[in-house]
Structure 1
Amino acid sequence: MTVPDDVETFAEAVGPQSDEVLREMDARAAETGFPTVGPAVGGWLQQLAGLVDARRVFEFGSGFGYSAYWFARGLPADGELVLTEVDADELDDAREYLARGDFGVTTRFELGDAIETVEEYRGPFDVVLIDNEKERYVEAFEAVRGKVSAGGVVVADNMTAGPFDFEEIYRLVVEDRGTRGGMAGGVADYLDHVRAADSFETTLLPLGEGLAVSRRVG
């Protein structure tokens, strides 16, 4: 399930406005079918960084830098943003887009497996975005949970749509029926895991393709 187009357009209209670089990135995504979070969710990510007074952000899976660009707009000049990506060309493109934004934040571009990369970093991180392989979402959360600051948040994309139908994830999570496996099973396992995680409180943001927002409360 995705939010109706008119609601998504309305959310975009009342949120932070895009700039020239973001419009170029949106056009690229539309032309190539590359799955970005889109401007409505992007504006919300920018707002979230400001709401938690974020100084450090870590991304599990960055593509060509779309969500990172929105995060950078919400960080202070002395902030730090870590992008991870397994595709070298996409990471190079992300570097170019972020440079054009000229935000002044310290931006690190890590080529390789995000779960291995996060082990090389010390916390705390104020915002973490999980958007890598859906079957590894739980693994990603466990790799970073101890590095999330008090009051910080872990955001996971594709909770209600994307590489599976909403009806499939609904059956697995709400009705608790069906065999778990694949991408939908990975997301269902993640939702069960974070809802039961000590010191984290999770809610769903039904915007874009669905975001689980888990705040560290202890």
Structure 2
Amino acid sequence: MSILHTEAVDRILKLTAPESDAVREEMEARADRERFPTVGPEVGAFLRLCVRMRGVSSAIEFGSGFGYSAYWMAPAIGSDGRIVLTEFDADELEQARDYFERGGLEDRATFEHGDALEIVERYDGPFDLVLLDHETSRYVEGFEAVRGKLSENAVVIADNVLHTGAVRPDDLVDALEGESRVSESERSTSKHPSLEGAVAYLEHVRSDPDFETAVVPLGDGLVVSVRL
């Protein structure tokens, strides 16, 4: 259950979630078994809704793992659309390819092995939707790497901003208000780069006059920015 809402809300989200299929159920069972950090069905459903509302035909994901988030979005992109999956772990990328093939969605995906920030340089765009789900400490870099390749009214979604690893919402509040629960010794050993990355990203996108940004408390916290 997400710490960002109550148990009752969690149950409501599950009861009203879109119907699943055998492949996605297998992916979710694997994530539970291996404690693999996916966005989960509540965020997956939100991502698919964003794709439908925006009429997305071209998307790119920074950090795809074994393809769970992209698998949620692909059906809504349509047969003429394309989502680019990027993943540094070659085995996980091949597993993503296998899931897409078994789900009949392989014609909507491009699988790129390597660093997302390097991969995106090879694409001209335009992208209608971008999902940042790589290292939180590199979200600002990712945003800047893709901003010149965005379509009009494009959506940029960053995951794991309110809660990631040892970072909790209270830590983020303190950091945004100019305080910090992280001790100097912890900070010096870089134990919480995710906190610093989350703060830097929030400040970066909220101060950008070309985007309107809102925080969505689903999963581990999403920051959704729409190009104006």
TM-score, with structure 2 as normaliser: 0.91
Report the identity percentage.
Answer: 47
Q: Which residue of the partner structure matches residue 156 of structure 1?
A: 158
Alignment length (residue pairs): 216
Contact 2:164–2:194 (CA under 8 A) maintained in structure 1: no
Q: Would you say the 8 A contact 1:18–1:39 is kept in 2?
A: no
**Alignment-derived partner of residue 72 in structure 2:** 70
Aligned to 1:96: 98
Q: Which amino acid aligns with 1:44?
A: F
Q: Which residue of 1 aligns with 2:110?
A: 108
Offset of residue 104 of structure 1: 6.0
Give the secondary structure class of the aligned counterpart of 2:27.
helix
- Structure-2 residue corresponding to 1:213: 224
TM-score, structure 1 normalization: 0.95
Corresponding letter in the other structure for 2:219: G
Identify the match of residue 202 of structure 2 among 187, 191, 198.
Answer: 191
Find out whether 1:200 has 2:211 as its counterpart.
Answer: yes
Write the letter of the residue equivalent to 1:204: V
Contact 1:205–1:213 at 8 Å: present in 2 too? yes
Structure 1, gaps ≥5 residues long: none
Alpha-carbon distance between aligned partners in 2 of 1:12 and 1:213, rounded to the nearest angstrom: 22
Larger Rg: 2
Counterpart residue identity of residue 158, structure 1:
N
Give the equivalent residue in structure 1 for 2:174. 171
> For residues 133-152 of structure 1, what are the structure 2 equivalents within 5 Å?
133-152=135-154
Structure 2 unaligned blocks of 5 or more: none
Residue in 1 that maps onto 2:87: 85
Name segments (4+ residues, structure 1) moved above 2 Å.
Answer: 1-6, 103-106, 178-181
